[in-house]
Chain A
Amino acid sequence: MGSINFEKTLWDPASNKPVRDNCGGYPPIRHTFTWRAGFSVTPVDKNNGVVLIFPLMANVVYGFNAHKLEAGAGIAPSITTKGSWYIKTPLALGYRYEPDGKKLFYRVTYTPIVGWLVDYNWQHWAGISIGYKLK
């Protein structure tokens, strides 16, 4: 039901090409692209063992100061300790509170899991996250 993730900025257009607005200042709204890799584990049963999940996400963070909208999509390959594997697509759409100058940030996200490999199905899930900036 949970995962641990590492996130890194992939592309930050505002920091590379700052553009002044009509008043001579820099517009506060900006978007940033990030990638995120994670790990999760959940038990199945004695015949399947446990399943190891490796979600890999690409995200866009768009927002005003500390308040940001975040959307993402990715793939989540998984393999059990008995050797069975599968791939699903996690999606994310949520709110990210990331105050400047603070190490901690928070998210509340709608996180559906989409299956498409043998049949299309859509699971509704949501999550909360706490992040810590390493630098």
Chain B
Amino acid sequence: MKKIAIVLIVLSASVSCKKEKWFAGDNYISEGFETYAHVDSMFSYEDIRWSYYQNTHEGNYIAFDTTIVHSGNRSLKFFGAAHPGEVSKSSIVKQEMAFFDGDVVRVSAWYYIASVPSTGWLFLFDFEEQTAIGAGPGIRIADTQESGLVLEHKFFNDDIYQPASGFIALPRNQWVNITMEVKLSQKKKGYVKIWQDNQLIIEGYDRKTLPKDFLYSQQGTKGMYQSIEFGVTANSSSTDVIMYVDDIEVKKVN
């Protein structure tokens, strides 16, 4: 028994100490969609830029757009068709990133949503952990008709809403900057702030901002985020969504 315990402790210590080395990755990306020859060239095998895109249903697509742009000559257009009772996705993902417990990460992007507000939740951005067993837990920004932007936790933690009285809706048919700053913590030592066009609309302090293992249904969390996802990351509404995204920047700021 003693030998087993010693082996487990030594193995645990050695693994934990090397986490930052084993899971090293980018902690910065800036994207204006200006330099690509075609959409497929965004996705290289080496994950130099983006890792993959996903269009979960027939009719969903992503494409460069030159008519509705925030800066430069292009934005990226996402079309996520409504599929009542199902979640429709049209998004781009970058994996092999590395944002660790204690990091302060700032995410900024410009969004132009051409579709009408609907009763369902429209997810615009996901931070995800990649676990051995589990459903890619993380934090996500969603737009809701009832309360505007919401920070949703895809793990066991309360979501953060704007104040019920006087929330600011996410406008349609115009460019809007959404910026999120989050201090990552598996304990209640993190914080989250979200600005909409430079106005602070959501803030939460002393919060758990990274997922942890939960029984056996979520195993292998590492105390870090490894992937980011932009676009129609989930459309659970009853209406099609047309979204343009431009001038993305994700970086560690501390």
Contact = CB atoms under 8 A, between A and B. Distances in A.
A45 B221 contact: no
Contacts of B132: 84-86, 117-118
Interface string B193-204: 000000000000
B8 A113 contact: no
Nearest to B1: A58
A119 B219 contact: no
Interface of B: 1, 4-5, 8, 11-13, 15-16, 19, 22, 132-135, 186, 212-223
A130 B102 CA distance: 43
A119 B133 contact: no
Contacts of A114: 12
B135 A86 contact: no
Contacts of A120: 12-13, 15-16
A1 B215 CA distance: 8
A123 B213 contact: yes
Contact of B220 (A1, A43, A118): A118
Interface string A110-128: 0001111111110101000
Contacts of A80: 133
19 contacts: A40-B216, A44-B217, A44-B218, A47-B135, A48-B133, A51-B219, A78-B216, A78-B219, A80-B133, A84-B132, A84-B133, A88-B219, A116-B8, A118-B22, A119-B16, A119-B19, A119-B221, A121-B212, A121-B213
A114 B222 CA distance: 13
Please classify the interface of chain A as helix (H, G, I), strand (E, B), loop, or mixed, using the class held by over half of its residues.
strand
A128 B190 CA distance: 34
Interface string A71-85: 001001010100011
Contacts of A115: 213, 219-221
Contact of B12 (A48, A58, A116): A116
